[in-house]
Amino acid sequence: MTRGSRYGRAALAILFVLALYPLSPYTVPIFIGAVLCSVGWRAQIAAETAFRLPRVVGAMLHALTWLAVIALPTWLIIGTLASSLQPLIARWRSGGPLVNVPPQLAHTRFVGPWLANRLHRLNAKVLLHYLGHHSDLIRASLGHVWVFLLHTLIASLVVFSFALRGEKVASELRWIAQSLWGPRGQQVLTLAAQSARAVMFGIIGVGLAEGLLIGASYGIAGMPVWPSWLVATILLSAIPFGAGAILAIVCGWLMVTGHVLAGVLTAIWGTSIITAADLILRPLVTGKESAVPFIALLLSILGGAKVFGLVGVIAGPLLLMLATSLWQSWFREPPIRPNA
């Protein structure tokens, strides 16, 4: 390679980095969108072939499917709470207590009168005073919700963009991989796709089991519209603390409406399921196709969420599985020879 050629490649690399720098704030949704597109690409091709869909329609359905997976639980929760909160808001405006004494405790000696006195103080005025003193925290939380929604939309657009040009993107990735790693380039891409699918299938499978087990307790406890909350728990289980947030809302609602015992038992059951799913089942399902040790996968999920945030649930085990697979194939197997 001549000196001019080296300088030209260095200048091109610098230009490439500078061009990507404005996209750096959106690294998370771009990465998520790329992974989702890789996972759903085969299903998109199958749908296009079965129903004779044009590529633009297939790509649009692909992106909208992933968007619905994230947006649907939000719509279910808002719709359910909006209709259920109206009686409580009317009572709060009238000056009544926010929470009535549960019938099971109303006539209990010592506990009943003490709880009635405490709950009577918890009225709308107290709530507004509390919200006023924590306005910064509330605004920050709403800001995180806005960022999450924005990143969800960007990830869906990335899925559409990649899915619209799937073959071209795959060809360019193969060229880049072969330029970097030679005959092993295709092997790197194959292992990356396999690792991405294993991680996503682990997340989806565990979320389904987790949501069904917890959602069944919602129905037993008498939660209104409990199938909607079951679906929301399934769909949000992939997000750190997502299933826990739904569980907290359901248990809080049960206690507020007087079903204290049901709320407590549901909280205990749900917490046990979430703990077992996140600390045991998810690493086992995610790593069943690889040689990654259980404890390493567990730490990659927890550490990935801490380091990268939401994307770390996927990025942590994905990077670990990919590195392990590449290590095994690179140093223990002969290199893949290019086709003649």
Q: Per residue in 10-55, pLDDT tens? A: 787 788 788 778 888 888 788 888 888 888 888 999 999 999 999 9
**CA–CA gap between residue 148 and residue 169 (Å, rounded):** 27
Q: C-alpha 177: how far from its chain's center?
A: 29
Confirm if 270 and 247 have CB atoms less than 8 A apart: yes
SS3 readout for the chain:
CCHHHHHHHHHHHHHHHHHHHHHHHHHHHHHHHHHHHHHHHHHHHHHHHHHCCCHHHHHHHHHHHHHHHHHHHHHHHHHHHHHHHHHHHHHHHCCCCCCCCCHHHHCCCCHHHHHHHHHHHCCHHHHHHHHHHCHHHHHHHHHHHHHHHHHHHHHHHHHHHHHHCHHHHHHHHHHHHHHHHHHHHHHHHHHHHHHHHHHHHHHHHHHHHHHHHHHHHHHHHCCCCHHHHHHHHHHHCCCCCHHHHHHHHHHHHHHHCCCHHHHHHHHHHHHHHHHHHHHHHHHHHHCCCCCCCHHHHHHHHHHHHHHHHHHHHHHHHHHHHHHHHHHHHHHHCCCCCCCC
User: How many whole angstroms separate alpha carbon 288 and alpha carbon 188?
Assistant: 20
Q: How wide is the angle at C-alpha 275 spanned by C-alphas 250 and 213, nearest 5°? A: 55
pLDDT (0 to 100) of residue 282: 74
Low-confidence ranges of the chain (pLDDT < 50): 335-336, 338-340
Give how far Cα 14 sits from Cα of 21, 26, 75, 93, 253, Å: 11, 20, 44, 62, 55
CA distances, 272 to each of 222, 232, 244, 275 (Å): 20, 18, 11, 5
Long-range CB contacts for residues 165-170, cutoff 8 Å, separation at least 24: 166/37, 166/41, 166/44, 166/45, 166/59
State the amino acid at position 300 in one-letter form: S
Please tell me the predicted confidence (pLDDT) of residue 340: 38
Query: Please, which residues have CB within 8 angstroms of residue 263's CB and are 6 or more apart in sequence?
Result: 221, 251, 252, 253, 254, 255
Q: Kindly list the distances between the CA atom of residue 277 and the CA atoms of 13, 240, 285, in Å, as whole numbers in the listed order.
A: 43, 12, 10
Question: What pLDDT is attached to residue 16?
Answer: 78
CA 246 – CA 190 distance, rounded (Å): 37
